[in-house]
Structure 1
């Protein structure tokens, strides 16, 4: 795949986040800008949490996040936020706990749909 897309993750310190910097998904890192945009546009958040050595995180990137049609749908419907669980264990813990309580299991990559106010 040609790396013609560049998103906000290009300047992040995390190698895992930078790995997604050329996805056609319009990724935001977790932060004020992403949360402000979600509220201003009244769009739900698609939160994706993973880490560099996660096999299934790489599979999901290849099969979903590099797919132009999937990315277009994600970009249209959501504010997309990518989190490195090794960089933000606090966020990983909050949302993994929620998923485990809600479904009885959890793992990575972790995908959670949130309201613009960050509630699952």
Structure 2
């Protein structure tokens, strides 16, 4: 999935595609980094080396980095949802309220349009 998203970063002028790609990449990097740090290091190193390695990187404080990456990803997902609102209605919605659009229920029209535009 990462390989498929990286080329979309070149389309910064197609803002929906760019936000989709960046959000997905950040989500993958944050999740993979956290998994490698907590699980991969546990498997690869013995207990003493693992303690020394984690002490060098700040122990639990490294979670701040992973959490920041995931929050950054979430902001791009919210911005993508905001951009999927039709322009004539977008001014009444913020990125924080965009997931609630339309208020009558969830619509797949924006996702369908995004998918069609990506395939062109």
Check whether TM > 0.5.
no
Q: Which has the higher contact order (CA 8 A, sep 6+)?
A: 1
The TM tier, using the shorter chain, reads under 0.3
Q: Which has the higher helix share?
A: 2
Q: Which has the higher strand share?
A: 1
Question: TM-score by structure 2 length?
Answer: 0.25
Question: TM-score by structure 1 length?
Answer: 0.25
For the pair shown, which has the larger CA radius of gyration, 1 or 2?
A: 2
